[in-house]
Amino acid sequence: MKGTTLQMCPECRRENRASARFCIYCRAPQRGLLPKGKILKGRYRIVDLLGCGGMGAVYLADDLALATKVAVKENLEQSAEGQQQFQTEAKILAHIRHPFLPRVQDYFVADNRQYLVMDYIRGPSLEEWVESKGPLAEGQAVGIFRQVMRAVQYLHSRQPPVIHRDIKPSNVKIDPSGRAFLVDFGIAKILHWSSQTQAGARAVTPGYSPPEQYGTGTTDQRSDIYSLGATLYFACTGHHPPEAIHRITGKVDKLIPPRRLNPQISPRLERVILKALRVLQDDRYQSVQQMLADLKVGKIPARTPVPQRVKPAPPVSKPSPSPVPIAPIGRRVVALLLDLLFIGSLMTIFSLFYLFWQFQADPFDLHPAGELQQARLGWIVAVVWSAYRVLGHSLLGATVGKKIVGVHVTSLHGRRPGLFSALIRESLLVLEMGFCLGIPSLIWTAKDPMGQAWHDIVSGTVVVRARKAGSL
């Protein structure tokens, strides 16, 4: 098939048809990624996928003009705000030159998608390194972070200042020589002191974003200092720090002191980390320069030795997305029967209470309910049934029956369906039953490779097995 008819799977990186919703090899939801061999702008040939997130993907590519490897970042966010922020990232990177920051080489739009071409940094991220080898020794961690902090100090010294706002272990790359690079400016902002305006998107990374980055708080240079402290915490302990919003809403600060997780950390380094991670902005370091001054360990190395494993505190790896297993048709039928039994039981109990109340009101009125009352009861049952399924699918991803048999409803992107999608799905299911299409729909579902019934296809949902039986 032609390259334009294919897409690369974000999980197994194999190629599927461009129209596929799930990977035929690993069942992961597809994102419409570029296939291997695709040539952009007549110059950049896609070699492999380096990473894929919620708003974009990064590919390894060959620059055919210069015969070098480059990183090509693709914007998957099609909203006007997302496209504007991608342009902001390109403009930020185009005007910065620093030994610990990647250079932008090109920016263009192809097939209605934005692309940014940058230096390709060989080597793993700090997150990958710690999760595979364990927490870093103190001297090695400080050597790496003094490089990263120099890059952040340079950004903050720009006029106007540039706030990164997404410093975390996965955004620190280390090349084979031990040189550290701070990457991914996807939610960076340019701080305009005169007008008090902020140019940039707002997003958070649990554990690494400061409290002011949630809601309507104002982020500044001290926000990056919090993220630097959180990233240094992870590098030295192998543990992700608790989410900032939980630290300020709980009665007790849930942050575990680093030395309790790794006793080899010196008290001096622990004080630096804890000060950077203060909840209130005024209690933190007020500049990167202050934090650098407290990290004095001699001369800043231009190149850092490859980190070695430290035995204490085994790393806690971040869970990665797993393939999506389609729920067997038998489980779906059993789930539907269990839901009918559940709602039938509730309505029976309701009817008994209603009859008891009516008998208490008029013991001599023992006539059966009229046609009007029977029709009213039928409407009540239909409304309760529909509301139960719509709310269960949109809020919890499953009804009682589905939870018992270990399946749940998800969108094509692996999320719980919204209220609108759940309402559309239930309305179409009612129409299928009303027009006696239940059996043909079941046959279609059994033969469909994605296990989607007609109401699933239209509403953009799919029924999958839960990771653990009975879980949501």
CB atoms within 10 A of CB 451: 19
Asked whether residue 133 falls in the same domain as residue 110, the answer is no
Residue 467 has pLDDT above 90, yes or no: no
Return the minimum-mean-pLDDT range out of 64-78, 282-296, 324-338, 373-387. 373-387
State the catalytic residue, choosing from 106, 119, 166, 294. Answer: 166
Indicate the residue type of 231: T
Indicate the residue type of 453: A
Q: Read off the pLDDT of residues 313-337 as tens digits, 9 standing for 90 and up.
A: 444 444 444 444 677 778 888 888 8
Asked whether residue 386 falls in the same domain as residue 422, the answer is yes
Strands (E), 243-379: none
Residue carrying structure tokens 């708003």? 55
Number of compact structural domains in the chain:
3
Mean pLDDT of the chain: 80
Residue at 3 is within a domain: no
DSSP string, 350-370: HHHHHHHHHHHH-TT--PPP-
Return the minimum-mean-pLDDT range out of 8-22, 165-179, 409-423. 409-423
Nearest to 223 by CA among 188, 257, 264: 188
Asked whether residue 162 falls in the same domain as residue 245, the answer is yes
Asked whether residue 111 falls in the same domain as residue 144, the answer is no
CATH number of the domain residue 87 falls in: 3.30.200.20
Residue where a domain stops, chosen among 71, 86, 119: 119
Q: Which two tokens stand for residue 409?
A: 């409803």
Asked whether residue 278 falls in the same domain as residue 336, the answer is no
362 is catalytic: no
Asked whether residue 257 falls in the same domain as residue 175, the answer is yes
Residue at 341 is within a domain: yes
Asked whether residue 241 falls in the same domain as residue 290, the answer is yes
**Residues contacting 455, CB < 8 A, separation 6+:** 424, 425, 426, 428, 429, 432, 441
Asked whether residue 115 falls in the same domain as residue 157, the answer is no
Return the minimum-mean-pLDDT range out of 234-238, 286-290, 353-357, 425-429. 353-357
For helices 138-156 and 221-237, give the axis angle rounded to 10 degrees: 160
Domain that includes residue 341, residue range:
329-355+371-465
Q: Give the DSSP H/E element, type plus range, for residue 171.
A: none
Return the minimum-mean-pLDDT range out of 134-143, 217-226, 229-238, 373-382. 373-382
Residue 381 has pLDDT above 80, yes or no: no
Query: Is 405 or 274 the better-scoring residue by pLDDT?
Result: 274
Q: Read off the pLDDT of residues 287-319 as tens digits, 9 standing for 90 and up.
A: 999 999 998 743 333 344 444 444 444 444 444
Question: In this structure, is the dihedral angle defined by the CA atoms of residues 128, 61, 57 and 7, taken in order, positive or negative?
Answer: negative
- Name the pTM for this structure: 0.60
Residue at 81 is within a domain: yes
Query: Is 307 or 407 the better-scoring residue by pLDDT?
Result: 407
Asked whether residue 150 falls in the same domain as residue 80, the answer is no
pLDDT at site 458: 75
Asked whether residue 135 falls in the same domain as residue 194, the answer is yes
pLDDT at site 41: 95
pLDDT at site 318: 45
Asked whether residue 250 falls in the same domain as residue 132, the answer is yes
Residue where a domain stops, chosen among 250, 279, 294: 294
Residue at 98 is within a domain: yes
